[in-house]
Chain A
C-alpha cells in the first residue's frame, strides 16, 4: 500500500526545484501503485508510476514536503508537514516546505486499500473519477481550504506517509547490517542500532536500499506509527518551532503574497463594478480615463454565459464592470476615478430590477414577519404546541450581513500564452479557481464545464500558483476575482494582467454572510427548566447565490432542472429556504435536552450575493440559542452556567435521525462511522463518525467555569462588571467561552478577560490551536461589536474601515486564558469554532454587568465601544 519510487516527472522535479539530475524519492499510498510495484531496474530506468507527491527525499537526504492546502494564517502549512516529519523522524533543519500549485487530483488521498464495492460512502468520500477508487477527501476539495477540515482530513495520511518512509529507512539499514529490523530504530535523520554494534547511518546513505524495501500491508504499517509518547511535534509544545521559518519570512517582508509577484510586462487592472447584483453595463466614456498617464486601455468586463446563470449575484461570476488597465496600480486607480462618473448601469433585467429595490432596513421587517409565522419543521420531538404555555420566554435575534474583510484584498494575475493560462492568486479554493479561470479563458460551453474530461483538460491547460494568503475567512473560497483576471487575460493575450481590488471593492463586493432573524420561544416548568422550545430561523441561504431561484423568464422545465440540481448538490435545500449545510450549523444540532422541541426553517429570499464567513451559519445560530439560554436562566432566577449545564443534561450522542433531521454530513464529515471489512472478517473503522456528543459540550462548559473561577466570583464582582458564558459545537469541535466585561455609567464597554475551553480532539499543534482561539475571539468581538453591512437600492452602503469598522488592539481583551481538553480522539477543526460563541457570551456578560439585553448585532448601536 505504500511505495517509494524514483520520481522522474519533469514537472514535479521542477516544482521541487531540484533539477532532473537529482535522485528524488516519492511516496505513494495508492493501491494501484502497490499493485504495480516497479522493479529496481524499472526505477533506475525511470518508468513513471502513479504518485501522490507529498514528500521527497533528495540525494543529500534532505526532505522536501509539499504543502498542498491554502495557508491563510491557520498555520496548516507547517503543521501538516511537521506531522509527516515527526513520523519520519526527520531532522526539521533538513526539511524544506514547498507550496504546491493547484492540482487537486494529486492530493485527493485515496483510501489506503481497496474498498469492497458494496460499501456505501457518501460525500465527500465517494468520488472516484471513473474508477472504483475511494478517496479520503474528494479530489475536488482536496485543496479547498474551508470548513476547518485540513487537519481532520490529512492528519492520518500524513502520519502514514511519514511512517512508511521511516520504515523503509529502518529496514534498509537492517538489511545493510544483516540484523533484524527490530534491532534498529530511526532518530533524527539517522537509523541506529540498539546494540550500538553498527555506526548510525544517515538517511542519505539509505536511499537506494530503501527503494528495495518491500511494500507494507496497511495493518503492518499501522504498527509502525509512533506511540504518542514518541512524538516530537504532534501535541507537543516543540511544534511551535516548526513555524519559525515562515514567521521569519513574514516579519522581514520576504513572503511573496499573490500581489507581490511581478511578472515581466505585467499591467494592472482596476474594475469599477455594477453596485447591484445581476446588473449590467449600459455605457461609459473613457475619454478622461485614457488621459491619465500610464493608462493603456479601458474595457468592459462582462463574463458571457459559459458559467451558467447562477443565482442572485451569479454564483462565482463577478459583477459586471468596466476595467481600467494601466502600467501601474496608481495609474489604474486614477483612471478608474475619472471613469466612474461616466458609467451608466443597466438594471432592467428582472433579477437586477428586483435586487435594485433591496433595502436592508425594510428587509429586516420582512425577516421578522417570516419568523413570526410557522416555517418548515426540520427537527421535532414531543408536542411543542400542547406544551407551550404558563411562564414563557420569547425573543427575536437579528444578525446583519457581514463582510469577511481579510487584510489582503483580493488580487489575481493571469497570462494567456497560446493555449496555456497561468494564474497567480490568493485563494482558499484553488481547484475551483483553476477550473473557472480555464472555462472563461478558453470559452468552454456551459453544458461541458462540469464534465470530468473538461476538468482534466483545465487542470492541464491552467497553471495556478497559490502562494500564502493574507487572510481568507471564507472570502477567498469564491474565485470571482480570478475569473476577472482570466477574462482580461483572454481579451489581452500574451499580457500578464493583475486585477487588484481596493478595500472598497472588498467591502462592496464581498460574498456576505447571511442576514438572519431568529425567533425563540420556551415554556418554563415549575423547576425553571424548559418544558417546550420552539426555534425558528430565517436566513438568506448561500445556495440562493449558487443556484437560480425560480424565474418567470425560465420555462418550468428549466426551473425544475435548477431546483433539482440545487437539492442534489450537497443537500442544498430549496429556495427560499436554507440548505442542510447551513441548518446543521447550530440549528438542527441544537444541543439542549428539552422534552418538547420543534425547530423550523423560515423563508428568506435573496437580493445580494451571499457567501460564507468564518463559522458561517453558526454565527447567527449560536448568537440566538446561546443568548436565549441566558435569557431563560434569568427568567428562572438561576445562575446561567448552572442552568446551561442543566440544559445540556448528562449528555450523550444526539440521535438526530430519530427526530426527522435530514441525513447530512455535518460540516462535511460523516455523522456515522464508516467501517470497512478487510482481511477476511476483520473490520476497520476507516473514517471516524462525528455525531454531536453533548457530553463533550458539557465538559468544556465545566472546564471554562473552572478556569474562569465562575463559582468563586459569583456575587463578588463590583457593580458594572459581569461574566457571560456561551458554549457551542461547530466544525466537529466543542468550545465554551466566558467573557469578563465592565460597563461604565454610560454603557462604555471594556472586555477585561476571555476564558476559553476547547475540545478539538487531539490538538496537533498546540500553539496554533491557541493562536486560532485568540484570533477567533477577536474576530467574533469585531463582528459582535462593530460588524454591519447595510444595503440601499441594492447597493452596499459601506466602503472602507472607516464605515465598516473592525476590532483594533485597544478593544481586544487584555488577557486570554485557554484550556485545551486533552483527548485521544482524532483531530477536528479549530479555525472557525472559537468565533460563534463570542457574540452570545458578550451579550450575556453585558446583561450580567447591568447593561441592556442586546439581541441585535452590532452592539455598538446600544453600548459605547
Chain B
C-alpha cells in the first residue's frame, strides 16, 4: 500500500493506506483523531468537515491522496496557542451543543466562513451552513453564535 505524508494540525504524519481511503477514516482509524465524525459518508451532513488549506472539505469523500497535497486542520487543531477559536468560545458561552456530535463539523464550517467574512448576514450563514445537519436542532444558537464569534474574532 502507498505511503502518504500528511500535514495534520501542524505535524507531519506518515500513513500507509489504500490511496482511495477517505481522509475521514485515515483520521479516525489510523491517526486516532476521532473529533471528526462520521454521519453519512456521502457529503450530505457535514459532520466530517475539516479544513484543507483553510477551506472546509467533507473528509468522508476526500481521498487521502488528495488531502496529502494540503495542510489539514481538524477540530483538535483549531485552537491556537492554547486559545480556543472564537467559534469554540462562543459555542460554550451560548450553550450551543446538545448531543454535540455534529458540532465539530459545524464549527469547522463556521470557522471557515468567519475567516473570509467576520460579519455574515443570515443569508451568508444559511449559504455556508446549509450543508451541516444538526438533528438536535441547535440551528438558532448556531446562527446567533456565529455572529457572536465574528464579534469576538
Q: In residues 45-72 of chain B, which contact A (Cβ within 8 Å)? A: 45, 47
Whether the Cβ atoms of A252 and B136 lie closer than 8 Å is no
Closest partner residue, chain B, to A331 (CB atom): B18
Which chain A residues numbered 417 to 459 have a C-beta less than 8 Å away from chain B? none
Give Cα A768 to B136, complex, Å. Answer: 12
Contacts of B36 in A (CB 8 A): 253
Residue in A247, A253, A329, A408 whose beta carbon sits within 8 Å of that of B95 in the complex? A247
Chain B neighbourhood of A240, CB < 8 A: 95
User: Which B residues between 117 and 153 are near A, CB-CB below 8 angstroms?
Assistant: 122, 125-126, 129-143
A251 and B103 form a contact (CB under 8 A): yes
B14 at the interface (CB under 8 A from A): no
- Taken together as a complex, chains A and B put the C-alpha atoms of A250 and B130 apart, in Å, by 21
A293–B41 touching, CB < 8 Å: no
Give the Cβ gap from A237 to chain B, nearest Cβ, in Å. Answer: 11
The digit string for A640-671, where 1 denotes a CB below 8 A from any CB of B, is 00000000000000000000000000000000
Which residues of chain A in 222-268 are interfacial with respect to chain B, using CB atoms and an 8 Å cutoff? 240, 243-244, 246-257, 259-260, 262, 268
> Is A775 a contact partner of B34 (Cβ separation < 8 A)?
no
The CA of A307 and the CA of B139, in the complex, are separated in Å by 41
Question: Which stretch of A84-92, A97-105, A467-475, A549-557 is in the interface?
Answer: A467-475
Are B35 and A408 in contact, with the CB atoms below 8 A? no
Q: Which of B99, B126, B134, B142 contacts A468 (CB 8 A)?
A: B99
Which of the residues B29, B30, B98, B125 comes within 8 Å of A75, measured between beta carbons? Answer: B98
With A330-B18, A330-B21 given, is the CB distance from A771 to B98 under 8 Å?
yes
Interface membership of B42, Cβ < 8 A: yes
Number of A-B contacts (CB under 8 A): 195
The one of B44, B47, B107, B139 that contacts A812, using a Cβ cutoff of 8 Å: B139
Q: Which residues of B contact A331 (CB under 8 A)?
A: 18
Chain A residues near B29 (CB-CB < 8 A): 268, 328-330
- Check A777 for interface membership: any CB of B closer than 8 A: yes
> Given A254-B35, A470-B101, A802-B44, do A807 and B136 touch, yes or no (CB 8 Å)?
no
> How many Å lie between the Cα of A776 and that of B40 in the bound state?
22
Residues A252 and B18 in contact, CB atoms below 8 Å apart: no
B91, A771: Cβ atoms closer than 8 Å: no
Interface centre among B30, B84, B136, B138 (most CB of A within 10 A): B136
Cβ contacts under 8 Å, B47 to chain A: 407
A66 at the interface (CB under 8 A from B): no
Task: Specify which chain B residues have a CB less than 8 angstroms from the CB of A260 in the assembled complex.
Answer: 28, 34
Q: Is A778 an interface residue (CB 8 A)?
A: yes
Q: Check B141–A774 contact: CB distance below 8 A.
A: yes
Complex Cα distance A71/B125, Å?
29
Q: Is A767 an interface residue (CB 8 A)?
A: yes
**Distance from A175 Cβ to chain B, minimum over Cβ atoms (Å):** 42
Q: Does B96 contact A (CB under 8 A)?
A: yes
Contact between chains at B37 and A470 (CB < 8 Å):
yes
**Minimum C-beta distance from B113 to chain A (A):** 12
**Would you call A278 an interface residue if the criterion is a C-beta within 8 Å of the partner chain's C-beta atoms?**
no
Query: Does A808 make an interface contact (CB < 8 A)?
Result: yes
Chain B neighbourhood of A250, CB < 8 A: 97, 100, 103
Q: Is residue A809 within 8 Å, beta carbon to beta carbon, of the partner chain?
A: yes
Q: Within the assembled complex, what's the spacing in Å between the Cα atoms of A768 and B99? A: 12
Kindly state whether residue A405 has any CB partner on chain B within 8 Å.
yes
Given A257, A471, A809, A813, which contacts B136 in the complex, CB threshold below 8 Å? A471
- Of B40, B84, B88, most buried by chain A (CB within 10 Å of CB) is B40
Is A275 among interface residues, defined by CB-CB distance under 8 A?
no
Tell me how far the C-beta of B16 lies from the nearest C-beta in chain A, rounded to whole angstroms. Answer: 11
Name the B residues within 8 Å of A293 (CB-CB): 1, 18
- C-alpha spacing A333/B41, complex, angstroms: 11
Cα A408 to Cα B40 in complex, Å, equals: 9
Contact call B130/A808, Cβ cutoff below 8 A: yes
* Known interface pairs A470-B37, A812-B137; A407-B88 also in contact (CB < 8 Å): no
Mark contacts of A792-832 with chain B using CB atoms, 8 A cut-off: 1 yes-contact digit, 0 otherwise: 00000000111000111110111110000000000000000
State the interface size on chain A (CB cutoff 8 A).
70
A406 at the interface (CB under 8 A from B): yes
Q: A250-B97, A771-B138 are in contact. Are A256 and B129 (CB under 8 A)?
A: no
- Say yes or no: is B112 at the interface (Cβ < 8 Å to chain A): no
Say yes or no: B44 contacts A407, CB within 8 Å: no
Please name all residues of chain B whose beta carbon is closer than 8 Å to the beta carbon of A772 when the two chains form the complex: 98
Of the candidates B30, B98, B101, B131, the one whose C-beta lies within 8 Å of that of A775 is B98
The reply on A72 being an interface residue by CB < 8 A is yes
- Residues in B neighbouring A812, C-beta threshold 8 A: 137, 139-140, 143
- Cα–Cα distance between A330 and B15 once the two chains are bound (Å): 14
- Contact partners of B122 in chain A: CB under 8 A: 814
A771 touches B95 (CB 8 A): yes
Asked whether, in the complex, the Cβ of B100 is within 8 Å of the Cβ of A800, the reply is no
A407 contacts B107, CB within 8 Å?
Answer: no
Whether B140 pairs with A73 at a CB distance below 8 angstroms is no
Say yes or no: B45 contacts A778, CB within 8 Å.
no
Q: A779 on the interface (CB 8 Å rule)?
A: yes
Residues of B within 8 A of A256 (CB): 34
Residue of B nearest to A469 (CB): B99
User: What B residues does A768 contact at CB under 8 A?
Assistant: 95
Q: Judging by beta carbons under 8 Å apart, are B88 and A252 in contact?
A: yes
Contact A775 B38 (CB under 8 A): no
Whether A408 pairs with B39 at a CB distance below 8 angstroms is: yes
Interface centre among B29, B79, B126 (most CB of A within 10 A): B29
Given A330-B18, A407-B47: A253 in contact with B101 (beta carbons within 8 A): no
Scan residues 72-112 of chain B and give those whose CB is less than 8 A from a CB of chain A: 74-76, 78-79, 84, 87-88, 91-92, 95-104, 107
Of B22, B79, B134, the contact of A252 (CB 8 Å cutoff): B79
A777–B129 Cα distance when bound, in Å, is 19
Q: Measured between alpha carbons, how far is A21 from B18 in the docked complex, in Å?
A: 49
Check A775–B100 contact: CB distance below 8 A.
Answer: no
Supposing A470-B101, A471-B99 touch, asked if A330 and B25 sit within 8 A by C-beta, the answer is: yes
Contact of A503 among B18, B33, B39 (CB under 8 A): B39
CB of B32 closer than 8 Å to a CB of A: yes
Interface residues of A in 687-725 (CB under 8 A from B): none
Cβ of A516 < 8 Å from any Cβ of B?
no
A139 within 8 Å of B (CB atoms):
no
Which residue of B88, B101, B125 is within 8 Å of A809 (Cβ)? B125
Within 8 Å CB of B125, what residues of A?
809
**Smallest distance from the beta carbon of A483 to chain B beta carbons, Å?**
21
* Contacting residue for B92 out of A71, A73, A248, A782, CB 8 A: A248
* B38 A259 Cβ-Cβ under 8 A: yes
- When the two chains form their complex, are residues A251 and B107 in contact, meaning their CB atoms are under 8 A apart? yes
B135 and A329 form a contact (CB under 8 A): no
Question: A251-B107, A504-B41, A807-B137 provided; 17 other pairs, C-beta below 8 A?
Answer: A75-B98, A247-B95, A251-B75, A251-B84, A251-B100, A259-B34, A328-B25, A329-B38, A330-B21, A503-B44, A779-B135, A779-B137, A782-B135, A808-B131, A808-B132, A809-B134, A812-B140
| Pairs of residues from A and B, 7 with the lowest C-beta to C-beta distance, nearest first | A253-B35, A778-B137, A470-B101, A250-B100, A73-B99, A73-B98, A775-B137
Q: List 17 A-B contacts (CB under 8 A).
A: A75-B98, A247-B92, A247-B100, A252-B75, A255-B100, A260-B34, A328-B25, A331-B18, A405-B135, A408-B39, A774-B141, A778-B137, A779-B136, A801-B133, A808-B132, A809-B129, A815-B140
